[in-house]
Amino acid sequence: MSHVLAVDAGWGVTLGIKTVVVLGLIPAGALILGYTFLLKMMSHMQSRLGPMEAGPHGVLQLVADGVKFLQKEDIMPAESDRHVFAIAPAVIVMSTFLIFIVIPAGPKLVVKNLDVGVFYALAVSSLSVIGVLMAGWSSANKFALLGALRAAAQLIAYELPLLLAVVGVVAQAGTMNLQGIVGAQANGSIFGWSGIGNPFILTQFVGFGLFLVASQAELTQTPFDMPVAESELVAGYMVEYTGFRFLFFFIGEFGTAFAFAALAATLFLGGWAIPGVTNTGLMEVLGPLVLFAKLMIVAFLMFWVRFTYPRLREDQLQALAWKVLIPIGLANILVTGIFKVAF
Amino acid sequence: MSATDTPVPRLPELEVDRRAWRHLADAAVGVELDTGDMILNLGPQHPATHGTLRLVVRLDGERVLAADPVIGYMHRGYEKLTEVRSYPQITTLINRIDWLSSFANEVPFIHGAEKLMSIEAPPRAQYIRTILTELSRIATFVLFLGEMGLQVGALTPAFWGFRDREHVLNLIEAATGGRFHPNFNRIGGILDDLPWGWINETRNVMKIVIDSCDVFEDILAGNEIFEARTRSIGIIPGALGAAYGVSGSNLRASGVDWDLRRDGKPYLAYPEIDFKVWTHPDGDSWSRYWVRLQETRESALMVLQLLDQLPSGPIMAKVPRIIKVPEGEIWVETENPLGQMGYYIVSKGATGPFRVKIRSASFSNVSILPWLLRGVYVPDVITILASLYFILGDIDR
Amino acid sequence: MADEDITPSQEQSGAGDEERAERAIAETDEAAAAAQAQADADSTGAQPTTEVTADEVEGDAAPLDETESALLALLKAQLGDAIIDQADMFGTLLVRVRADAWLRAAEVAKRDLACDFLSYISGIDWQPAPREGDDVGGDSSAPVQPTEMTYGLTGSAGRFQLLAHVQSSAKHWGVTFKTDVDDASPRADSWVSVYPGADWHERECWEMFGVVFDGHPNLRHLYLPSEFEGHPLRKDFPLLARSVKPWPGLVDVEPMPGEEKKEVAATAEGGEGE
């Protein structure tokens, strides 16, 4: 687009602005999610306060952690594959970066409004598997290797339920374009009443559940955190990473959580749109805030489950994906198709 | 004699090879090297091994083919130390065998010394000792209930376990002066009487403990994922467990109905209260968790009974100023939180013992690991270690 | 402890170990020949007196109670003259067997006495520890032990003895076995074939006392590093910490509040209270 908030700019400047915004968005999103849920919500659930020192109520704790990580010594294990070791975190963060390209935050606030937006988002999110394998293998550490192999199996297995959950939404919206999906929800109606539009969570509740479970597994969060099982592998494939390389992993993990929550909010909760408000100028400003609020709700659910449940063993995890979630997803698509044709 | 006067002598007949300590990391283990399998060291620094336990496992993918525990990283040589210490000094030492329930470690030793001296502690002292032993049992079990959840991945119950244990530690500190290592027993009784208000506070804390047990039963024992991780994992047959020396809740979870508080020689105030001994037929990790959960509740009820029946009176019997235990031998065993703890004391009439053999529960509990870990997955190894509940100080002494 | 009623002797049937033990006990109570001598001294099964002076090293000065007598009779029936001595150790039966009957004792305990639980196997070195006193410049704070060698309740043939305690989880009784091992090269049979838990106990015993166990699958160090030399729990193995650094004694640096200031030690050692 060549209009950035009604300012005419050449394509180079536009590209530069978009790049900077997205690159800034990922750490910011990671920090916000990390502080709210990891530091404060988890602490309060565990009947403790969490960080209180850095900034009021510890809001600057993650900033302080970031600075701490950046000034640490860069240690590479002597027997590691140096180049692969160095590039692996970048691969993971890159796949996170690529998801943000298609997520819309307003009527025109999207980096690139691809017609195959959903397809693209799910495809690039699975690039992180390569980064995980690279990290685990190049670390020259048996624990890291165990973690990476577990992660590879798990991430590939849970791609399918993720996909099947989204197919129902696509069938109902009639398009893979994310702006189109937002529009379908905002302008839709429930049995004729268009008060709150037609958020797909109402009809695709099975899909929503599947998406949450599958994204929990894609993010290797408990109950699917075998690859980084803290009490067994002590950070699994990330165990040999220190300093700013670990910071990359951390930002990648929470940035991806941010992205998946945003995707879920867009696909199931209506995205940036408030049904009934059509003033595009207003929505350019309000849209990001609305999207932010909705994704925080989704993220709350994800992290709440993370801090409560024990973790599944690898074979139980795989059995859950292949024997339970995929059949449910297929059944969901079948029912959605029937309803779509019938109504 | 001052430290600066006489030079430190070298004992010529024993030259210890100091270079031997360098090779600790490569300690020879009895696992044959085989290509195609992976040898993994779990520990000695590892969050799942409860301390410095090293488990060398030979893996085929994620399956354990053979496991060899290497212990001794915490070996402090207690049995040798007891030979150069007097009896009151030894109570300080043995507090630190099982450090999560320190008071319970002193009890069998003091009981043995008192029997050798034919001294009987007064009833009030016996009751207070029993109450403190049960409090230390609650303290260590409540922690276990939370931290086994941590080992299988649930982050939150571990904190609740620590939080509820704090209440009990506050009680122990108020009574004895020390949270972790009270060193409160003396030959003939206990050091000091209970402070004002302690009994009411203990009653309140026992209610908290019982509520907390209900919470743990809900959030962990009844959780489907926890059950999937622990049911049928690490089954110890009762007879084999006994042959290995597995004791305490581990053996009771395999269906063996044996509790030294009820079935052994009478000690402390246990003959005077009623309590139920909990067993479970399965023998897997879930039943070990469940048995300890029930025992925690039972201990809280026992403490309430003991408080109701607490007699008044002196807390210390008439004991000579310098403790000289007459010549003799005695074997005392008690039901400690970790299992059966026993002391075999040989006295030759001096102020200190001639030989003390410390039978610690975790030593035998861990000795079954090579048999138990064959053919399990790596995550199950963690679950089994958590469910056996050993303390390194108890293994290594 | 379960006190069974004394029933008329019956033929032992092929029932389980526990029933066999019960019937055997009832049977031998009636016919007790060797047990009679001890049973006479038995009064009401109360706690025996504890006065065992240095003169009486052999024979039991304290009478055995009913359960102990019954267990002893059962052991004598199976082991016969392999039992050298026995004693009552505050309610626990202590039996000293001949060295060649060590493994047989375990089998008898497991099979006939229903003792399925192995508590521990350990050793004892009866030699008095060499006193590292003032002339050597070592530790002088340790309790003073008698210098002549005495051997406890059931006596000993020499310096080293093995001891083991087994219990019955069903019957709630226990027996402690002792045996003598050779002083110069201590050897004994391994109990691993009877009690698998003996594995680690025997490894520790070898490591600490130097007793070699025949039939043990893998006798190697348990607590100490592989290259460790010496056997620490022997009395002639010094407590190195005290030799390397002498015990400073009672050093009170901080006077109690309200009391007069005492002489503080010249060294900067932190005060060890006890």
Query: Which residue among C153, C169, C249 sits closest to B242, beta carbon to beta carbon?
Result: C169
Confidence of residue C63 (pLDDT cuts 50, 70, 90): confident
User: Between residues A281 and A167, which one has the greater pLDDT?
Assistant: A167
- The string of pLDDT tens digits covering residues B63-119 is 888 888 989 888 988 998 888 888 888 988 888 998 888 899 999 999 999 999 999
Kindly report the nearest CA distance between residue C22 and chain B, in angstroms. Answer: 17
Distance CA C153, CA C52 (A): 8
Distance CA B120, CA B189 (A): 8
The chain-wide mean pLDDT, for chain B, equals: 86
B271, pLDDT greater than 80: yes
Q: How many CB pairs under 8 A join B and C?
A: 195
Q: How far apart are the first and last CA of chain B?
A: 31
- How many whole angstroms from its chain centre is CA B104? 8
pLDDT at C16: 44
A256, pLDDT greater than 80: yes
Neighbour count for residue C19 (Cβ, 10 Å): 13
- Give one DSSP letter per residue of B25-87, joined into a string: GG---S----TTSEEEEE-SS-GGGTSS-EEEEEEETTEEEEEEEE--TT---HHHHGGGS-H
Nearest CA in chain A to B152: A310
Q: Rounded to two decimals, what is the model's pTM?
A: 0.81
Which percentage of chain B shows pLDDT scores above 90? 47
Which percentage of chain A shows pLDDT scores above 90? 18
Distance CA A343, CA A190 (A): 12
Confidence of residue C139 (pLDDT cuts 50, 70, 90): low
Confidence of residue B303 (pLDDT cuts 50, 70, 90): very high
Chains that touch C (3 or more CB pairs under 8 A): B
Helical spans, DSSP H, in chain B:
78-81, 87-94, 102-117, 123-151, 156-176, 198-216, 224-230, 238-244, 249-252, 260-263, 285-309, 361-367, 369-372, 378-388, 392-396
Query: Which residue among B46, B152, B160 sits closest to A310, beta carbon to beta carbon?
Result: B152
Kindly report the nearest CA distance between residue B53 and chain C, in angstroms. Answer: 11
The chain-wide mean pLDDT, for chain A, equals: 85
Distance CA A333, CA A337 (A): 6
Query: Which residue among C137, C163, C237 sits closest to B8, beta carbon to beta carbon?
Result: C137
Range ranked top by mean pLDDT from B43-57, B232-246, C215-229: B232-246
- The string of pLDDT tens digits covering residues A55-98 is 888 888 888 888 888 898 888 888 888 889 989 999 988 888 88
| C contacts of B351 (beta carbons < 8 Å) | 143-144
Residue type (1 letter), C128: P
Where does residue B307 fall: left (phi above 0), alpha (psi -120 to 50 degrees), or beta otherwise?
A: alpha
Check B243 against C163: CB less than 8 A apart: no
Complex-level ipTM: 0.84
Distance CA B111, CA C265 (A): 37
